[in-house]
Amino acid sequence: MLFNQLGLSAELLRAVDEKGYSEATPIQQQAIPHILEGHDILAGAQTGTGKTAGFTLPLLQRLQFGKINRRRIRALVLTPTRELAAQVGDSVRDYGRYLPFRTAVIYGGVSINTQMSKLRKGVDVVVATPGRLLDHMQQGTIDLSAVEVLVLDEADRMLDMGFIRDIRKVLKVLPKERQNLLFSATFSKEIKQLAASTLNSPAEIQVAQENTTADKVSQVVYPVDKNRKRELLSHRIGKENWQQVLVFTRTKHGANRLATQLESDGITATAIHGNKSQGARTRALQDFKDGSVRVLVATDLAARGLDIQRLPHVVNYELPHVPEDYVHRIGRTARAGHEGAAVSLVCIDELKLLRDIEQLLGTQIRKEHVPGYEVDPRIKAEPIQNGRSRRSNGPRSDGAKKHRFAAPKKRGTNRNGPPRRRRKQA
């Protein structure tokens, strides 16, 4: 379906055309008409499906033809991370270039005074992370009493990060009469509970099966000893001539260490995580996008919301503790219809994590042994230390240490994998 068949205004269609788009994606085809009609929606879609435009375009049109409310905040978009907030802010700016609306993007890591100054001048749309938005609320520098449309973008990640209390504080100060749009990559029990308490008779949209990966992502697991992962990664980047690679580690320290090691191998690399300043994160991402850096090493939360066009390779240097994070990670590639490759370097310590991921996906991921990097059968599995908490998600006392890289056995449906942690920084 073409964008000009969705009932969008001439101003929005002109901006869409200048962005080079003509055909709407499935999530846009389904979401835009419901939003234009004023319905609440509960939408599930994989990353890279065009969901940002799917709510930005109809949101702007609702404001365009709604009641005039001079320089009061009429739309609020909540996102889990700074990068995603910036991305949504860019989308509002680009699609609204022929409309008279002002936008403020609010997140931590930068001066709050600059944000206060912009809010005082009056804005129509606010895109914010929950923590910094609460700062403004507590200081009385933001008025949300006139909000007409609320968007919860990547709500599953906000819940993963422990923002549910912050979200509920924001909901309490919003007008009861408003339109609510909730977008989530997965529909967990917690997401459905949030939807039940927030949305009013929502239209439910699911453009892909829950917890599935993009169809155009080829997935492969390379079994390898833990102490040879970096060597194998450098080998594959060099041999296959990978020019743009997003690599995931579990910890900030691990991201820094790997980036330094890759540099010593002659591969330009930089790290991005929550301990980096916003300026450093922005520079690292820009260097990666323009090709001056070949490898971007990231933690899960720092990479959430990164929009990198035509990213060909995603590497799980370490598997995530939460199986759903695997889906989010590899969703960074194969965006907007392009093909991509997801490579996982898996040592014996991570076999349980791999089984949890395969159980979530409902399929086994192809295993490929790289000549010269065969697994040493004498090495025994060790517990995986999960950051500062030292919490282990490694082998259990039920014999998991004995497993090697064999096809996973079928297991019962009561295994839910490791518990989620409440966390607010990557």
Q: Give residue-wise pLDDT tens across range 335-363.
A: 655 678 999 999 999 999 999 999 988 88
Contact 55, 99 (CB under 8 A): no
Amino acid identity, position 145: S
Lowest mean pLDDT among 82-96, 218-232, 242-256, 375-389: 375-389
pLDDT at 298: 92
pLDDT at 390: 35
pLDDT at 106: 96
Helix (H, G, I), strand (E, B) or coil at 62: helix
Query: Is residue 400 pLDDT above 50, yes or no?
Result: no
pLDDT at 304: 62
Lowest mean pLDDT among 113-117, 162-166, 205-209, 239-243: 205-209
Q: Over pLDDT 70: what percentage of the chain?
A: 84
What digits encode the pLDDT tens for the residues 2-38?
999 999 999 999 999 998 888 998 899 999 999 999 9
Q: What is the mean pLDDT of the chain?
A: 85
Is the model more confident about 409 or about 324? 324
pLDDT at 179: 97
Contact 128, 106 (CB under 8 A): yes
Q: pLDDT tier at 404 (50, 70, 90 boundaries)?
A: very low
Q: pLDDT tier at 370 (50, 70, 90 boundaries)?
A: very high
Lowest mean pLDDT among 207-211, 356-360, 399-403: 399-403
Output the six-digit token pair for 398.
């039920």
Q: What is the DSSP string of 239-277?
A: HTT--SEEEE-SSHHHHHHHHHHHHHTT--EEEE-TTS-
Q: List all residues 6 or more positions away from 378 whose beta carbon is below 8 Å from its beta carbon.
A: none
Residue range 305-329: mean pLDDT, rounded = 84
Q: pLDDT tier at 417 (50, 70, 90 boundaries)?
A: very low
Helix (H) or strand (E) holding 230: helix 229-239
Residue 152 bridge partners (DSSP) = 78, 182
* Alpha carbon distance 411, 414 (integer Å): 8
Query: Is residue 413 pLDDT above 70, yes or no?
Result: no
Output the six-digit token pair for 221.
């697991």
Contact 250, 363 (CB under 8 A): no
Query: Is residue 286 pLDDT above 80, yes or no?
Result: yes
pLDDT at 309: 67
Q: What is the DSSP string of 364-422?
A: PPPB-PPTT----TTPPP-PPEEGGGTEE-S--TTSGGG--S-PPPP--TT---SPP--
pLDDT at 415: 40
Residue range 212-237: mean pLDDT, rounded = 87
pTM: 0.64
Q: CA nearest 420: which of 133, 163, 167? A: 163
Q: List all residues 6 or more positions away from 44 whose beta carbon is below 8 Å from its beta carbon.
A: 183, 184, 185, 186, 187, 205, 206, 207, 208, 210
Q: pLDDT tier at 187 (50, 70, 90 boundaries)?
A: confident
Q: CA nearest 60: which of 88, 30, 18? A: 88
* Alpha carbon distance 229, 349 (integer Å): 13
Query: Is residue 416 pLDDT above 90, yes or no?
Result: no
Sign of the torsion formed by the C-alpha atoms of 65, 70, 71 and 73: negative
Is the model more confident about 277 or about 139? 139
Can you list the domains of the chain with their CATH numbers? 3-206 (3.40.50.300), 217-402 (3.40.50.300)
Gyration radius (Cα) of the chain, Å: 22
The C-alpha angle with vertex 51 and arms to 48 and 57, in degrees rounded to 5, equals 135
Query: Is residue 406 pLDDT above 60, yes or no?
Result: no
The C-alpha angle with vertex 323 and arms to 160 and 212, in degrees rounded to 5, equals 100
Output the six-digit token pair for 241.
């001539």
pLDDT at 142: 96
Residue range 138-156: mean pLDDT, rounded = 94
Lowest mean pLDDT among 34-43, 84-93, 138-147, 333-342: 333-342
Q: CA nearest 188: which of 218, 156, 228? A: 156
Contact 169, 148 (CB under 8 A): no
Q: pLDDT tier at 302 (50, 70, 90 boundaries)?
A: low
